[in-house]
């Protein structure tokens, strides 16, 4: 063959791949890679690329292989064990997650580009073909055992059989559940939802619900998703937090709730007696003085979770006190990260609530 194609770099896996994490990072840095602090590349995992840039806190599980001309992985992104990603360029956004045993590759070309947005997740056993570009936006979920194809060919085109090569574009805040098959040339608009087990063969408009094989739109943006008033959203949030409190207690922590006018306060005590404080603001009623008096810096972690927007002054007050804030209205997070805030932010993901990092 004129061009050498290597499916798995066995030699690199058995040499570079077996280096301890710090030595592996040093090896890639010595070859020109830009690798941020607290990056973990698991045993047996290798990256074959001319350009490598990995942001702070990113992790790659064991036995994973990334191959591209350029690899860019955002801060706190996670790639699971034994995944295979082979493309011309690979771009993975901040806080994105690729689960175990995800396969990206197949028929390659100069247009084989993969872009995964911030806070997007791709679940296990999903197959993505990148003969043409695949672009997946921010805050999108791709369920397990899904298939995304950018080419369809086998029988001879010169004998009249159909052959298709076309990119796939999936927007922001899209939900594609398990075992969905997406055909070449499909565009799925922002905020759309696809029913599980569907076959998507054509464009799906933004904000719609489509199901079936082939998938057909059954609800449009005018009626999907359900519009919620403030009272209903506050009620839902209280239900989420009740479940969160039960989860913490199940894990051996003590949770004591108290209610004030327009906001709740929780004192959370760990196994070693260290305290955490959580404020939940439903109506913008939490006074900044309450935070100033709390002595946040003396605690293991303090967090403000707010349904209405958090003003800049209150954000700065928390940051001065080494506290963390989660703004549900702006879908943002900031301040000084702590275990309570990280646990809460991760727990809320199960309800589809995600926060963009501001720092």
pLDDT in tens, 87-113: 999 999 999 999 999 999 988 899 999
pLDDT at 262 over 70: yes
Residues of the chain above pLDDT 70, percent: 95
**C-alpha span between 78 and 75 (Å, rounded):** 9
CATH number at residue 183: 2.160.10
* 15 confidence band (pLDDT: 50, 70, 90): confident
Do 21 and 82 reside in the same domain of the chain?
A: yes
Do 46 and 142 reside in the same domain of the chain?
A: yes
Do 41 and 182 reside in the same domain of the chain?
A: yes
Q: Does 284 reside within a domain?
A: yes
Do 55 and 160 reside in the same domain of the chain?
A: yes
How remote is the C-alpha of 277 from its chain's centroid?
A: 26
Quick check: helix, strand or coil at residue 138? coil
Print the domain residue range for 262: 230-357
Total-model pTM: 0.93
Q: Could you tell me where the DSSP H helices lie in 117-229?
A: none
**C-alpha span between 129 and 111 (Å, rounded):** 12
Q: Does 197 reside within a domain?
A: no
Do 109 and 20 reside in the same domain of the chain?
A: yes
Do 144 and 247 reside in the same domain of the chain?
A: no
| Residue 295 pLDDT | 55
pLDDT at 1 over 80: no
Q: Does 221 reside within a domain?
A: no
The sign one gets for the Cα dihedral 228, 234, 239, 241 is positive
To the nearest 10°, report the CA torsion of 43, 44, 49, 50.
Answer: 70
pLDDT at 294 over 80: no
Q: Does 220 reside within a domain?
A: no
| Residue 341 pLDDT | 95
Do 14 and 129 reside in the same domain of the chain?
A: yes
Whether residue 42 contacts residue 17, with contact meaning beta carbons closer than 8 Å, is answered with: no
Mean pLDDT calculated for residue range 36-52: 96
Contacts of 256 (CB under 8 A, 6+ apart): 266, 267, 268, 269
**C-alpha span between 351 and 356 (Å, rounded):** 16
Please state which of the ranges 171-175, 307-311, 315-319 shows the lowest mean pLDDT.
315-319
Whether residue 279 contacts residue 264, with contact meaning beta carbons closer than 8 Å, is answered with: yes
Q: Does 121 reside within a domain?
A: yes
Kindly state the helix (H) or strand (E) to which residue 135 belongs, with its residue range: strand 134-136
Do 140 and 48 reside in the same domain of the chain?
A: yes
Report DSSP state, residue 6. Answer: -
Which one of 52-66, 273-287, 299-313, 317-331 scores highest in mean pLDDT? 52-66
Do 175 and 238 reside in the same domain of the chain?
A: no
The number of beta carbons lying within 10 Å of the beta carbon of residue 89 is 18
Kindly state the helix (H) or strand (E) to which residue 292 belongs, with its residue range: helix 288-293
pLDDT tens digits, one per residue of 128-179: 999 999 999 999 999 999 999 999 999 999 999 999 999 999 999 999 999 9
Query: Tokens for 7?
Result: 């499916």
Taking alpha carbons only, the member of 284, 302, 286, 305 closest to residue 294 is 302
**C-alpha span between 262 and 249 (Å, rounded):** 25
pLDDT tens digits, one per residue of 191-213: 999 999 999 999 999 999 999 99
Phi, psi (deg, nearest 5) at residue 126: -85, 145
| Residue with the two structure tokens 């590349």 | 41
Quick check: helix, strand or coil at residue 58? coil
Q: Does 143 reside within a domain?
A: yes
The number of beta carbons lying within 10 Å of the beta carbon of residue 124 is 17
Q: With 0-12 CB in 10 A as exposed, 13-18 as middle and 19+ as buried, what is 232? A: exposed
* 293 confidence band (pLDDT: 50, 70, 90): low
Do 162 and 258 reside in the same domain of the chain?
A: no
| Residue with the two structure tokens 């997946």 | 136
**C-alpha span between 60 and 300 (Å, rounded):** 28
Q: Is 151 a catalytic residue?
A: yes
Q: Which of 158, 189, 220 is the last residue of a domain?
A: 189
Q: Does 117 reside within a domain?
A: yes
Q: Does 301 reside within a domain?
A: yes
Number of domains in the chain: 2
Do 175 and 299 reside in the same domain of the chain?
A: no
CA angle 334, 281, 244 (to 5 degrees): 80
Do 52 and 183 reside in the same domain of the chain?
A: yes
How remote is the C-alpha of 214 from its chain's centroid?
A: 28
Burial string for 254-268 (b: 16+ CB within 10 Å, else e) reads: ebeeeeeeebbbbeb
Catalytic-labelled residue, pool 151, 230, 250, 276? 151
pLDDT at 266 over 60: yes
| Residue 10 pLDDT | 78
């Amino acid at each position: 063959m004129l061009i050498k194609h290597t499916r798995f770099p066995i030699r690199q896996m058995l040499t570079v791949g077996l280096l301890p994490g710090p030595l592996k990072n040093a090896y890639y840095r010595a070859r020109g890679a830009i690798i941020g602090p607290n990056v973990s590349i698991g045993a047996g995992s290798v990256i074959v690329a001319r350009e490598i840039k990995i942001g702070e806190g990113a992790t790659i599980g064991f036995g994973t292989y990334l191959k591209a001309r350029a690899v860019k992985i955002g801060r706190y992104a996670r790639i699971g064990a034994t995944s295979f990603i082979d493309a011309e360029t690979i771009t993975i956004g901040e806080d994105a997650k690729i689960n175990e045993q995800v396969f990206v590759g197949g028929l390659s070309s100069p247009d084989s580009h993969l872009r995964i947005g911030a806070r997007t997740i791709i679940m296990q056993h999903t197959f993505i073909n990148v003969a043409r570009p695949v672009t997946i936006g921010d805050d999108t979920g791709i369920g397990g055992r899904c298939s995304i194809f950018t080419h369809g060919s086998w029988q001879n085109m010169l004998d009249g059989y159909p052959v298709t090569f076309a990119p796939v574009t999936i927007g922001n805040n899209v939900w594609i559940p398990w075992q969905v098959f997406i055909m070449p040339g499909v565009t799925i608009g922002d905020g759309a939802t696809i029913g599980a087990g569907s076959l998507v063969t054509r464009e799906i408009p933004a904000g719609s619900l489509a199901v079936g094989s082939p998938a057909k739109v059954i609800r449009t943006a005018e009626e999907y998703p359900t519009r919620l008033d403030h009272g209903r959203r506050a009620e839902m949030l209280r239900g989420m937090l009740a479940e969160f409190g039960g989860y913490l207690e199940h894990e051996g922590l003590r949770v004591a709730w108290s209610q004030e006018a327009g906001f709740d306060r929780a004192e959370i005590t760990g196994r070693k007696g260290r305290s955490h404080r959580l404020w939940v603001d439903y109506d913008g009623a939490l006074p900044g003085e309450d935070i100033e008096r709390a002595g946040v810096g003396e605690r293991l972690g303090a967090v403000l979770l707010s349904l209405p927007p958090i003003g800049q002054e209150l954000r700065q007050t928390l940051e001065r006190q080494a506290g963390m804030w989660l703004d549900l209205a702006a879908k943002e997070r900031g301040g000084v990260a702590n275990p309570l805030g990280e646990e809460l932010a991760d727990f809320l993901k199960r309800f589809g609530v995600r926060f963009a990092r501001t720092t």
